[in-house]
Amino acid sequence: MDKDYLNILIFSHTSFGVRRLRMGKETFKTLLYLFVFFQFALMFLLCDYIQVKKKISLLNQLRHETTVQKSHIQLFSTKIEALEKQLSKLKDFDQRIHTIANLGKGQEVASFIGVGGTSPPINIRTLKQQPKEVNPVRNSSGTLNPAGIILKPNPTAEQQGIISNGVKD
């Protein structure tokens, strides 16, 4: 019968003397397993608590960034609205200038969104007839580049056409 029980002796400094605690082996094993289980559960909860605290600080930082970004977006939207108002005023001014100059309604400038494609075909005969001017160009080492740059005969006329009506002829 003594083999089925464990005796635990508790000594104290007070006048109570020695206390004796008698526990069955099965009860002791059960209590030991419960103690180990609660230790692991406590360790898991503690680690989870630490991870949640870290995530909360990250969440607060992201909330701050979000508020800053929202304020920037609001600032940009007010700037865009101001630019749109200024653009509409410029369009009205352009129409008034065309009316005063008796040019009729001004040419509508097409939107450049999605504009693309290939360049127009090159006429070889016109290229041969145009005089070529070669300017010496120095490369990075300081020596003259023999190829130079080919200039068009009157590039300012082409640029003026682009500036006046907004599109290249």
Note the pLDDT tens digit of each residue in 47-64.
Answer: 999 999 999 999 999 999
Would you kindly state where each structural domain of the chain is located, as residue ranges?
Answer: 2-71
Reported pTM: 0.37
Instruction: Report strand pairing: 18-24 vs 133-138.
Output: unpaired
The span from the CA of 169 to the CA of 161, in Å, is: 7
The tokens for 44 are 């898991």
* 86-121 confidence digits (pLDDT tens): 999 999 999 999 888 887 665 555 555 555 566 666
